Amino acid sequence: MESAIYYTSKKTFWQKVKEQKELVFMIFPFVLYVILFHYIPLWWWVIAFKEYRPYDGVWGSQWVGLQQFRDLFSDSGFWLAMRNTIVISFLKLVTSFAAAITLALMLNEVKNMLFKRTIQTISYLPHFVSWVVAASIVIGALAPESGVVNQVLMALKIIKQPVVWMGEGHYFWWILAISNVWKETGWNAIVYLAAMTSIDPELYDAASVDGCGRLQKIRYVTLPGIAPTISMLLILNVGWLLNAGFEQVLLLRNPLVQDYAQILDTYVLDYGITMYRYSYATAAGMFKSIVSILLVLFANKVAQKLNASTVV
């Protein structure tokens, strides 16, 4: 290895590029591809400062300065979408973390491998079906007459009349959170299970010697063992705070719950694609992207700080 470093360090940058031209040749088209599909679209942000008309083109359209943003921030619909986005992502964040950690803790207590593997295989199956299929299942299960949820609740005498679950705004937030838990918990639990396998078995033996029971071992060994993973994932999820789940909301929403279902992504879709207000929708999308990037940067900073302090 050392001789290799000595050998290459004598060469200039371009000599090395030339020497590795095959690797450059291999990856270069994809660098261009990524620039085209991920960086060039940023250029269209310019239309957020214009009144874009497809016929006039980007350059022919008139500059309007910050007018689109002024309109956006004075629209009560936008702030409603903002509220819904934050409430929905927060609700989903809390429920999905709690569910995944609980499932991982329970699976970790199972000693029968066949049982464990069977439950795991079942639990991540919904992750692989589309939200279209999941939404179809949710709508079917919540149907007023034939839906299994109403049938079970009526059989248990918890409710007397069938409830129109999909017709009430407050329920809608919980429907999103719970259907998300149903679909993703098994999948999300994988990373915690992986973290649990790396806990030193000696810690459990030591805890036994100290007289800890099963629950105390979970409390004093397992949970602290996965705490770094939990905090890391929580911090990284901050960057997703303005993503309430575009597909899920789009598929499950209906006119009755519109005031609770409009999120930033559907707001952009409704104004941009459906009403052709490209500039206005771009301003909304740009606002969302910039806030998200700031959140990611903030989260990374915090993660680095925490990581550094736990490692040192």
Rounded to an integer, what is the distance from CA 10 to the centroid of its chain?
Answer: 46
Where in 217-276 is the site for other proteins (CB under 8 A)? Answer: 232, 236, 239, 246-247, 250-256, 265, 268-269, 272-273
Q: Which stretch binds other proteins (CB under 8 A): 65-73, 74-82, 85-93, 284-292?
A: 284-292
Is 301 an interacting residue with respect to other proteins (CB under 8 A)? no
Q: Out of 64, 154, 190, 199, point to the residue binding other proteins (CB under 8 A).
A: 190
Is 182 an interacting residue with respect to other proteins (CB under 8 A)? yes
Sign of the C-alpha dihedral, residues 174, 176, 177, 181? positive
Residue 231 makes CB contacts below 8 A (sequence gap 6+) with 306
Is 304 an interacting residue with respect to other proteins (CB under 8 A)? no
Q: Which stretch binds other proteins (CB under 8 A): 62-70, 73-81, 83-91, 163-171?
A: 163-171
Pair 195, 229: CB distance under 8 Å:
yes
Angle separating helix axes 76-109 and 169-197, nearest 10 degrees? 40
From residue 117 to residue 136, the character string flagging contacts with other proteins as x (rule: CB under 8 A) and all else as - is: -xx-xxxxxx-xxxxxx-xx
Residue 303 makes CB contacts below 8 A (sequence gap 6+) with 232, 235, 236
Q: Which stretch binds other proteins (CB under 8 A): 67-75, 82-90, 100-108, 153-161?
A: 100-108
How many residues of this chain bind other proteins (CB under 8 A)? 99
Please state, as a whole number, how many other Cβ atoms lie within 10 Å of the Cβ of residue 15: 11
Where in 67-96 is the site for other proteins (CB under 8 A)? Answer: none
What letter would DSSP give residue 253? -
Nearer to other proteins, 54 or 65 (CB): 54
Q: Which stretch binds other proteins (CB under 8 A): 72-80, 86-94, 205-213, 219-227?
A: 205-213
Nearer to other proteins, 77 or 126 (CB): 126
Q: Out of 6, 9, 38, 113, point to the residue binding other proteins (CB under 8 A).
A: 38
Where in 12-31 is the site for other proteins (CB under 8 A)? Answer: 13, 16-17, 20, 22-24, 26-27, 30-31
Residue 140 makes CB contacts below 8 A (sequence gap 6+) with 146, 147
Tell me which H or E stretch contains 51. strand 50-51
Q: Which stretch binds other proteins (CB under 8 A): 60-68, 70-78, 80-88, 145-153?
A: 145-153
Q: Out of 230, 234, 296, 306, point to the residue binding other proteins (CB under 8 A).
A: 296
CA distance 100 to 133: 22
Tokens of 39: 């960086």
CA distance 48 to 268: 12
Q: Is 255 buried (19+), middle (13-18) or exposed (0-12) by CB count in 10 A?
A: exposed
Question: Over the range 282-306, which residues count as b (16 or more CB within 10 Å of their CB) and which as e?
Answer: bbbbbbbeeebeebeeebeeebeee
Pair 258, 224: CB distance under 8 Å:
no
Q: Out of 2, 9, 43, 309, point to the residue binding other proteins (CB under 8 A).
A: 43
Q: Which stretch binds other proteins (CB under 8 A): 70-78, 80-88, 153-161, 187-195?
A: 187-195
Q: How far is the CB of 19 from other proteins (least distance, A)?
A: 8
Tokens of 305: 């700080």
Q: How far is the CB of 116 from other proteins (least distance, A)?
A: 8
